[in-house]
Structure 1
Amino acid sequence: MSYQVDLNKIQKARKKKGFSMQYMADQLDISGKSNYFQREKGRVPFKATELQQVADILGLDPQKILIKVYRKSNIKQPEEVS
Structure 2
Amino acid sequence: MEIHKVVKRIRENKKISQEYIAFELKLNQSQYSRREKGDIPFSAIEIEKIACILEVKVSELYDDEQLIGAAGEKNLREQNEFSYRLIEKYEKIIEEKQLIISLLRECIEGFVKHKP
TM over 0.5: yes
- 1:13-44 CA distance string (max 9 Å, x none): 111221111111001111x1110000001100
Q: Which has the higher contact order (CA 8 A, sep 6+)?
A: 1
- Which residue, 16, 20, 31 being the options, matches 1:19? 16
1:55 has 2:70 as partner: no
User: Identity over the aligned pairs, expressed in percent?
Assistant: 29
* Structure 2 unmatched ranges of 5 or more: 69-116
**Partner secondary structure for residue 29 of structure 1:** coil
**Equivalent-residue separation in structure 2 for 1:34 and 1:69 (angstroms):** 29
Q: So what's the TM-score if we normalise by structure 1?
A: 0.70
Number of matched residues? Answer: 66
Specify which structure has the higher proportion of strand: 1
Specify which structure has the higher proportion of helix: 2
**Equivalent-residue separation in structure 1 for 2:19 and 2:51 (angstroms):** 17
Give the aligned partner of residue 41 of structure 2: 45
Task: Check the 8 A contact 2:35/2:42 in 1, yes or no.
Answer: yes
How well do the aligned residues superpose, as a CA RMSD in angstroms? 2.0
**Partner amino acid for 1:66?**
Y
Q: Which structure's CA Rg is the greater one?
A: 2
Q: So what's the TM-score if we normalise by structure 2?
A: 0.51
Q: Which runs of 4+ in 1 moved over 3 A?
A: none
